[in-house]
Structure 1
Amino acid sequence: MSRWALLLLLGLVWPAAATTLSETAFRQLERAQALLAEGDARAANELLEARFARAEHDSERALIRQVQGFALAAVPDNRAAIQRLQQALDYGQLPEPAALQSRLALGQLLYVEGQMPRAIEVLTAYLTQAGDLAVVEAQVMLASAHVAAQQYRQARPPLAAAMARRETPPLGWLELQLAVDYGLEAWSAAAETLLTLVSRAPESRTYWQQLSGVYHELGKQPQALAVLALAHRHGLIAEPRALRNLAQLYRALGVPYKAGELLTAALDARQVEADAPLLDSLADAWIEAREYDRAVRTLTRRLAVQDTAAARLRLAQVHVQRHDWAAVMDTLGRETQRLEGDAALLLGMAAYEQNDRALAQRAFERARADAGQRRAAEQWLRYLAGMRG
């Protein structure tokens, strides 16, 4: 609690204190106030503790404990401040304005200390007691405490009341509303909240990504893609994971060419690492877009990063689409025994097209050993046998 906020609170105590305290007690409280104004909260607390031992009645004890609570909050010693403010309220002798401020301060301190059940209880009591005089921050804090306790439905009324008191609610309040929407899985409401956040802070990539995610939850994939695409055009989608997700969304919605362009540009700008998974995704995009020449270049680059049998098979399959049989053979090699069944079958077809019947024979025999390729391999072997007569 700042010193000026503390003095403002104390301003509500002193007029009442003047009518209920002895002159000696009142002067000592005035001295404590002066120490607080000077920033010496510890000395003020010591003076008040000494006066408490000589207090003449409960109304004086309540006032002393209240001022001590404010002083300890300024130290800060929140736990001790909570204890003193609760004691002040328990006496039941504080004037109404002072009791309101004590309850508000107590609720705030409990919230800061993470004691959400008690914070909710105290802040609810404050709002009930204060009525129309309640400060809007208490409504927001109560809503936040409910959210922290995962009581999302209970958070709605105080937050709505706070929102109604501001023509333009702060972004923090809207983010709290979004947390409520998320907690209740109220995706349509979350979309509305995020549209407001995006309009208020269009430079925030987080809001754009969250809005896309909410549209995804609603099953509105085109809108999810449109949101991310717009954010990307504004330079707000730059993290590797976000770029990859956007590319996947393009492909999922049948726009693989855009996915290929996106990942190619990201690679050129070094926004993503040219690792095997990324190059696989890029190759998939070009294959789906039937951009086979680009797919070949991508898969060739992928083999340079990590040479695997699966990657070679994919490259060979693209060469088949281009009817480049020589490239198929160069990619798979001539050592048929090291090939899996599907690769051996593909090599046999390429060898046949290149009039290398001996290699085709060996490749189909190797493919026949694979249960998944046996039927096709035997058909090819019968065909070759028929050609030999």
Structure 2
Amino acid sequence: MSIFRALLLLLLLVGSQAFAATLSERTYKRLTTIHELMGESKYKEALKRLDELLPRVRKHKYEYATIMQTYGFAYAAQDKYKQAIEAFNEALKTEALPDRVQLSMRYNLAQLYAAVPDWKAAARAYEQWLVATEKPSADSYAFGATIYAQLKQYGKAIPKIKKAISLGKKPRENWYQLLLSMLYQKKQYSEAAQVLETMVAFWPDKKQYWKQLSGVYFTLKKNRKSLAVLELSRKQGFLESERDLMNLVNMYLLQGIPYKAAKILEKEMNAGRIERTGKNLQKLGEAWMRAKETDEALQELQAAAQVQKKGVLYLRLAQLYTDKENWNKVIELANQALSAGGLKNPGDAWLLKGMALYETGKKQGAIAAFGKAMKYNKSKRQASQWLTHVKAEGS
């Protein structure tokens, strides 16, 4: 961890002066040499010198604590965190070092426990440091939040990361990310939306935040806001995958804006960003159908039907041709729908066929078709009415 090498550098810069007044001259000189070795990353030699010095200082609490602290920094600089923890704890146990030094070492301990990782021990060391320090920094609050987030103690972590954010001189993206992830964990979506609103303001080029904001709005049933954010994302070029673009199309359909859905789907198909599959062609045709754009709906549904050969598509085409009063086409498509099968209510196809046969003067055929439609509960009533009408007219 680079943090411990930075702390080691600080020790080397100020340590000699601090120790000079309290260490024996002999210990001071040897420790200065050890610091110089550590400054040159000669840790093996430094540790050897510390081992030689240690028996000479055991009876002197302050010197012993200082040596153990130096052991701790030497081990930490080599990423030997368990040995560093043992050394720092041994130094703290003496209670011989100045309060300021001990306080700093407790924070170092919390960092070491986090590096192992032992998050429970890190939390204990952190709290011991926090209760004694006067003005915790923004970074220290963020560190505490990280510890409690790892322990899944979000009730403790969230206030700390909020404090870090409030104290920070400039917005730190990773702090906002941590806060957001914990709000998701606690299902606090309203607050997550507020955080994401801030994040898209600070980092407007990060497309994932726009997508997340839209998703949170959707979870909160704020569908109009969700759609607005998605549309803004599209205009900024953030919706690149077919999945994202189809999500936008579906949102427009969900909000009852089929014309816009169809226009986007058509544009993205032409651009090659959405594949022209039977399923997508069907969706495009249905969107045009809901938008009352009959000619466009016919074109896309016919293309979809050629690919999928699905009864429901032939049925929808028959319904559209009914609106255009092209009765021969209705008969043809109703037959195709029945032949393809898979209809939830085949009676609908028989009804359309009966109506078309009646309109073309083929009353006996119409009566037979309506008779077929009578067999299905959902179409029975209409079929009965048509039968009554056709038979009455025939008499």
State the TM bucket, normalised to the shorter chain: 0.7 to 0.9
Change (3 A) 1:101 1:366: same
* Greater Cα offset, 343-352 or 47-56: 47-56
- Counterpart of 1:244 in structure 2 is 246
Q: Does 1:354 align with 2:360?
A: yes
Letter in 1 for 2:369: A
Report 1:1-389 matches (<5 A): 1-2=1-2, 3-11=5-13, 13-52=15-54, 55-57=57-59, 58-132=61-135, 134-333=136-335, 340-389=346-395
Letter in 2 for 1:256: P
Measure the CA separation in 1 of the matches of 2:148 and 2:28: 40
Deviation at 1:141, TM superposition (A): 1.0
Measure the CA separation in 2 of the matches of 1:358 and 1:334: 20
Deviation at 1:87, TM superposition (A): 3.2
Moved over 6 A (4+): none
- Measured against aligned partners, the alpha-carbon deviations of 1:104-155 in whole angstroms (never above 9, x if no partner) come to 22222323444332222222222222212x3431111112222333333322
Measure the CA separation in 2 of the matches of 1:341 and 1:94: 91
TM-score, normalised to structure 1, is: 0.86
Deviation at 1:374, TM superposition (A): 2.9
Measure the CA separation in 2 of the matches of 1:22 and 1:50: 16
Partner SS state of residue 225, structure 1: helix
* Greater Cα offset, 148-157 or 50-59: 50-59
Contact map agreement 1:260 1:286 (CA 8 A) in 2: yes
Deviation at 1:229, TM superposition (A): 1.5
RMSD: 2.9
Measure the CA separation in 2 of the matches of 1:232 and 1:200: 19
Change (3 A) 1:263 1:335: closer
Where does the alignment leave 5 or more consecutive residues of structure 2 unmatched?
none
Where does the alignment leave 5 or more consecutive residues of structure 1 unmatched?
none
Measure the CA separation in 1 of the matches of 2:337 and 2:147: 69
Change (3 A) 1:75 1:254: same
- Measured against aligned partners, the alpha-carbon deviations of 1:333-379 in whole angstroms (never above 9, x if no partner) come to 36967753322222222232333445434433332333333333343
Measure the CA separation in 1 of the matches of 2:232 and 2:380: 50
Change (3 A) 1:60 1:343: farther
Aligned positions, number:
388
Letter in 2 for 1:274: R
Change (3 A) 1:5 1:385: same
- Measured against aligned partners, the alpha-carbon deviations of 1:23-54 in whole angstroms (never above 9, x if no partner) come to 44444433332232222334434543454455
Measure the CA separation in 2 of the matches of 1:168 and 1:111: 25
Measure the CA separation in 1 of the matches of 2:340 and 2:234: 45
Change (3 A) 1:336 1:239: closer
Deviation at 1:227, TM superposition (A): 1.8
Measure the CA separation in 1 of the matches of 2:369 and 2:31: 100
Partner SS state of residue 259, structure 1: helix
Partner SS state of residue 140, structure 2: helix
Change (3 A) 1:384 1:75: same
Change (3 A) 1:49 1:260: farther
Measure the CA separation in 1 of the matches of 2:50 and 2:324: 90
Contact map agreement 2:12 2:39 (CA 8 A) in 1: no
Measure the CA separation in 2 of the matches of 1:216 and 1:316: 36
Contact map agreement 2:311 2:340 (CA 8 A) in 1: no
Deviation at 1:191, TM superposition (A): 3.2
Contact map agreement 2:68 2:87 (CA 8 A) in 1: yes
Contact map agreement 2:47 2:71 (CA 8 A) in 1: yes
Contact map agreement 1:42 1:71 (CA 8 A) in 2: no
Letter in 2 for 1:119: A
Contact map agreement 2:71 2:87 (CA 8 A) in 1: yes
Measure the CA separation in 1 of the matches of 2:330 and 2:66: 91
TM-score, normalised to structure 2, is: 0.85
Measure the CA separation in 1 of the matches of 2:241 and 2:146: 30
